[in-house]
Amino acid sequence: MGTATVGSKEVSFLDNQLLKSMVFCLLSFALIFVNSISHAQEPENRQLSGTITATNNGVSIIPSFSLGRPAVFFDLSMGGKRLSFDPMLRFGMDGKPWTFIFWGRYKVIKNKRFSLSLGGHPAFLFQENKIRVNGKEEKAFIANRYLAGELNLNYKMTNRFSLGFYYLRGSGIQVIAAKDSDFLALNGAISDLNLINEWSLTVNPQVFFLQVDENSGYYANSALTLKHGAMPFQLQTFLNQKIKSTIPGNDLVWNVSLLYKFENRYAQK
Q: Classify 27 in phi/psi space as left (phi over 0), alpha (psi -120 to 50) or beta.
A: alpha
The domain total for the chain is: 1
CB 114 within 8 A of CB 157: no
DSSP codes, 93-135: TTS-EEEEEEEEEEEEEE-SSEEEEEEEEEEEEEEEEEEEETT
In a domain, 109, yes or no: yes
Chain segment 17-57, per-residue pLDDT in tens: 445 545 545 554 555 455 544 444 445 567 889 999 999 99
In a domain, 169, yes or no: yes
In a domain, 175, yes or no: yes
In a domain, 67, yes or no: yes
In a domain, 269, yes or no: no
For range 75-92, the mean pLDDT: 93
In whole angstroms, give the CA distance from residue 20 to residue 106: 27
In a domain, 268, yes or no: no
In a domain, 157, yes or no: yes
Q: 69 or 41: which carries more pLDDT confidence?
A: 69
In a domain, 224, yes or no: yes
Q: Which residue segment(s) compose the domain that 91 sits in?
A: 3-262
Instruction: Note the Cα 150 to chain centre separation in Å.
Output: 12
Tell how many helices (H) and how many strands (E) occur in the chain: 1, 14
Quick count: other Cβ atoms within 10 Å of Cβ 168?
Answer: 20
List, in sequence order, every residue forming a beta bridge with 156; answer none if it has no partner. Answer: 162
Cα radius of gyration (the chain):
20
Please tell me what DSSP assigns to residue 169: E
Confidence of residue 160 (pLDDT cuts 50, 70, 90): very high
Least confident of 101-105, 109-113, 154-158, 171-175: 171-175
Chain segment 84-110, per-residue pLDDT in tens: 999 999 999 998 999 999 999 999 998
Q: CATH no. for residue 106?
A: 2.40.160.40
